[in-house]
Amino acid sequence: MNQGLPASIWFILAAFSWLPGANLAVSSIITLFLVACGFGVMWGVLGGSMPRSGGEYVYNSRILHPTIGLAVSFVNAGFIYLAWIWVLAPWAGQIGLPMMAGVLGIAPEAVEPFSSGWGLYVVTTIVNVTAFLAVHGRFL
């Protein structure tokens, strides 16, 4: 799953409270055009000037320095791990448990203690430990 999609939806919907009266449709279309064209041109130029199989680190390592390309790859991987810890894992308690309770016909009050405070901390910790064990091959 792309982690950017839920965060993008959240920020798009939150924009109404941050910028009351803003025309969100026009600003979204302008942003979409600039981002799509900008990234398309950038990747086209970089891919045409440095054709080589590999990841994004190739462009950083050839333009700046090989060590910088390697560092950017490691920082990106570390950021994704941290993003799971502070954004996606709490969603298991805040969003996932209430949705699961609704689908299973369980009263929302039954999972409410796990949606905030120490209950959310416990759920997030369990999700993070389980994900860590699953990723590193020690999940039983």
Q: Does residue 90 sit in the same domain as residue 132?
A: yes
Q: Does residue 73 sit in the same domain as residue 140?
A: yes
In-domain check, residue 6: yes
Q: Which residues have a Cβ under 8 Å from the Cβ of 12 and sit 6 or more positions away?
A: 24, 28
Q: Does residue 72 sit in the same domain as residue 47?
A: no
What are the start-end ranges of the H helices in the chain? 4-18, 24-49, 57-63, 66-83, 89-91, 97-104, 108-111, 117-135
pLDDT digits (tens, 9 = 90+) for 1-47: 456 677 777 777 777 777 777 777 787 788 888 888 888 888 788 77
In-domain check, residue 59: no
Q: Does residue 84 sit in the same domain as residue 38?
A: no
Q: Does residue 80 sit in the same domain as residue 124?
A: yes
In-domain check, residue 56: no
What range does the domain containing 109 cover? 68-140
Q: Does residue 140 sit in the same domain as residue 72?
A: yes
pLDDT digits (tens, 9 = 90+) for 59-82: 778 888 888 888 888 888 888 778
What token pair was written down for 26? 């026009």
Angstrom CA distances, 58 to 22, 65, 71, 103, 139, stand at 40, 10, 12, 46, 34
In-domain check, residue 61: no
In-domain check, residue 36: yes
Instruction: Report the number of distinct structural domains present in the chain.
Output: 2
In-domain check, residue 27: yes
**Considering the entire predicted model, what is its pTM?**
0.48
| Rounded Cα gap, residues 13 and 19, in angstroms | 11
